[in-house]
Amino acid sequence: MQQFLTLDDLPSLSEAVNEAIELKKNPFAFKSLGNQKNLGMLFFNPSLRTRLSSQKAAQLLGLKTMIMNFSNEAWALEFEDGTQMSGLRSEHIKEAAAVVSQYCDMVGIRAFASLNSKENDENEIVLKSFIKYASIPVINMESATAHPLQALADAITIKEKNKVKRPKIVLTWAPHPKALPHAVGNSFVRMANNIDCDLVIAQPKGYELNPLIIGDNTIVYSQEEALEGADFVYAKNWCSYSDYGKILKTDDTWMITAKKMKLTNNARFMHCLPIRRNIVASDDVLDSNNSLIIEQANNRTYSAQLVLKKILENG
Ligand code: CP
């Protein structure tokens, strides 16, 4: 594998999930694969799980890591070609990406959607500029439109915990006080469309994801109706896509509660974290034995390890 920008870069999602589960059983099996190589990680946005799980995954493979918070430690980057750099941006991506490529053998980039411009976000300017000007493999550590490391960890978790032949999985929109990007929802839908399951997207009207992501997936506008018989409930907030970046609903009627979980087939609860308690889901859901949120976070290590291993094996 030469890069990891979306789940489509994996040769096979099901084989990747199986291989990651094997890595989890024997995490030091490839402890010398990354010897004398390093992974650079550039964060334009905050992180707990992605940063630490990717660092741990790298260490399990013998890789060294170099980490930089670009938002407050690096020179502000210019991405426009041909611009006269008389403003606040001190360094052009052309030099920055070329320089990073000399120091690192591969680079992970975290750069969220701005939610100011749908066009700019969909063009993935930060990620694509690094791909254009770097000469090393690029790994998506959550971009404007995708979070494939999270989706791979979620696929691992579902495979480990599923008890039925073909699970019903509900991806449900949930409330949040801030406008959040679509990356997690997008990648979750892409992932679920590549595993053996029945996916239902539950959301209030106006919160439809990008039509290219929705495809022919089922959307249900009643959360209670969607939850009936569910085996997995994945809660996530995202802002409006059609009225880009806007919050359309502010009440708590879509919060996941223990009462709502009773409508399901004793479903396991999932969320990528961080989660706002008693906003997205109530304490009694998050603290129940059916919650998988900590196990999902644990699987971020093996998701990242699988991706780094595939890139290292490519040479
Ligand atoms: N789920 C996830 O990506 O967590 P962080 O934002 O903490 O990395």
Ligand 1 contacts CB of residue 299 (under 6 A): no
| 219-227 mean pLDDT | 98
| 5-33 mean pLDDT | 98
Q: How far is the CA of 187 from the centre of ligand 1 (A)?
A: 14
pTM for the structure as a whole: 0.98
Q: Whose CA is nearest to atom 4 of ligand 1?
A: 49
- Rg, Å, the chain Cα set: 20
| 173-189 mean pLDDT | 98
In this prediction, residue 199 has a pLDDT band, given cuts at 50, 70 and 90, of very high
Position 307 scores a pLDDT of: 98
Do 118 and 51 touch, CB atoms closer than 8 A? Answer: no
Residue 257 confidence (pLDDT) above 90: yes
In this prediction, residue 112 has a pLDDT band, given cuts at 50, 70 and 90, of very high
Residues 6 or more apart in contact with residue 43 via CB below 8 angstroms: 51, 67, 68, 69, 70, 71, 110, 141
Pick the closest to residue 174 from 204, 210, 213 (CA basis).
204
Read off the tokens for 14. 């099901």
Q: How far is the CA of 279 from the centre of ligand 1 (A)?
A: 18
Ligand 1 contacts CB of residue 142 (under 6 A): yes
Mean pLDDT value across the chain: 97
In this prediction, residue 71 has a pLDDT band, given cuts at 50, 70 and 90, of confident
Phi-psi region of 240 (alpha: psi -120 to 50; beta: other; left: phi over 0): beta
| 179-204 mean pLDDT | 98
Distance CA 5, CA 163 (A): 31
Domains in the chain and their CATH numbers? Answer: 7-146+297-313 (3.40.50.1370), 150-294 (3.40.50.1370)
Position 88 scores a pLDDT of: 94
Position 99 scores a pLDDT of: 98
Residue 315 confidence (pLDDT) above 90: no
Exposed, middle or buried by CB within 10 Å (0-12, 13-18, 19+), for 309?
buried
Position 283 scores a pLDDT of: 98
Q: Tell me which of 41, 45, 47 to substitute to probe ligand 1's pocket, judged by most ligand atoms within 8 Å of the beta carbon.
A: 47
